[in-house]
Amino acid sequence: MNDTPSSHPTPPIPPIHFSPPPPPPPPPAKRSLFGKFLSLIGFLVFLGSIFMNISLLMVLAMEGISVPGMKKEVLQSGDDDQTVAVYRVDGVIDSEASDRFSRFHRHVADDEKVKAVVIAVDSPGGTVSDSEQIHRMISDLKNRGKKVVVSMGGLAASGGYYISAPADEIYAEPSTITGSIGVITGVLNLEGTLDKVGMKMTILKSSHAEGWKDMLSSFREPQPREKEYVVSLLNDMQEQFENVVKEGRGKKLQTRQETYQAVVGEGPDAKEVTKTETAPFNGKVYIASAAQEYGLVDEIGFLDDAYHRAAVLAGLSKPNVVLYKRHPSFFEALGEATGPKIQLDAKSIQNAQTPQFLMLWKPQW
């Protein structure tokens, strides 16, 4: 063998290079305790919103809607062609109450299956205009041949009685407070308050209307002639109220003259005089038994007594008693679920400054 080294030298082995490891990622920034708290609150609000929406949808699905915008709950099963429709008027009678009643009126006025209507009233009254609106619609139901019975709850005073007057019969619970046949108005006087904080309201009026344009302004004491004129307006409305009661109650109404002592004048000119008033047109409230003596109510009883009587008046053998309730929109229901809110907006301020003529029993004025 030839041991001579090969003429082709062995190629050198390339050196091995080791790359340094990549630097570790920077640690995540620590969130502040306040940031974590905000995130938690946001998450809880999100969960609460989902739960609330699902709950409302489930309620709406379970209750159902039998007519657009109204829910119907059967209080007593019977013949569908012998329906007694029941509707509640609760709380202060304002534009919302009038609008809600209008919706009920539209549903039952032309419904030939509805033979009688029971209005469950639990209200201290409200504005003259809105009380008139509901009164007119109740009268219209009577004119369409439907028997109307009112069932008074704990309170059916002033405008609450105004809307009850046209009923064929009126039932009151033993402890019902009713009456308060009268009209009232009032406005906040901020004059002294503004003086204390160094503020003054400047009011400019057109020349021809300068005597009356700011009548009953919140920023000054009313002049004697303003008071006299407003009282004359209230007296006109009082007369209208009394006529509504007389027309509605007819020969059932009993009135009597009552006298009382009153002090007129101030200081050394003050003196005691005897005044006369006509009950029950004196603005006084009465418990049910006393109201019955004046003929303001017919019977002492409860809601079921009222709708049983309505069925008898309508000649129904198998009455189907149905409670109509306004179905709130989804967003209204959501607003109610989140609780009441105190608002101080332009409308609230305007309402506080604008005098309103009220058929309202409000002894805490």
164: left (phi over 0), alpha (psi -120 to 50) or beta: alpha
Cα separation, 128 vs 240, whole angstroms:
10
- Top CATH class of 69-185+219-263+280-332+350-360 equals alpha beta
Q: Known catalytic residue: 158?
A: yes
- Considering the entire predicted model, what is its pTM? 0.74
The token pair at 271 is: 């003196």
Distance (Å) of CA 156 to CA 144, 243, 263, 314, 343: 25, 18, 31, 24, 28
Q: Which of 36, 205, 213, 275 is catalytic?
A: 213
DSSP collapsed to 3 states, 75-129 = EECCCHHHEEEEEEEECCECHHHHHHHHHHHHHHHCCCCEEEEEEEEEECEEEHH
Alpha-carbon gap, residue 314 to 36, rounded angstroms: 67
Contact present, 167 and 248 (Cβ < 8 Å):
yes
The length of the chain, given as a count of residues: 365
| Boundaries of every domain in the chain | 69-185+219-263+280-332+350-360
Tens place of pLDDT for every residue, the chain, 365 residues?
455 555 556 666 666 555 566 666 666 655 566 566 666 676 676 776 676 666 655 554 444 444 456 899 999 999 999 999 999 999 999 999 999 999 999 999 999 999 999 999 999 999 999 999 999 999 999 999 999 999 999 999 999 999 999 999 999 999 999 999 999 988 888 888 877 888 888 888 899 998 888 888 888 888 899 999 999 999 999 999 999 999 999 999 999 999 999 998 888 888 999 999 999 999 999 999 999 999 999 999 999 999 999 999 999 999 999 999 976 655 445 554 445 444 444 444 444 444 566 766 655 44
Taking the C-alpha atoms of residue 92 and residue 351, their distance in angstroms, rounded to an integer, is 15
Residue given tokens 């009282």 in the structure block: 231
Say which amino acid occupies 340: P
- Give me the torsion for CA of 67, 71, 76, 82, rounded to 10°: -30
Helix, strand or coil, per DSSP, at residue 153: strand
Return phi, psi of residue 127, to 5°.
Answer: -75, 150
Report the C-alpha gap between 170 and 143 in whole angstroms.
17
Q: Which of 123, 151, 158, 180 is catalytic?
A: 158
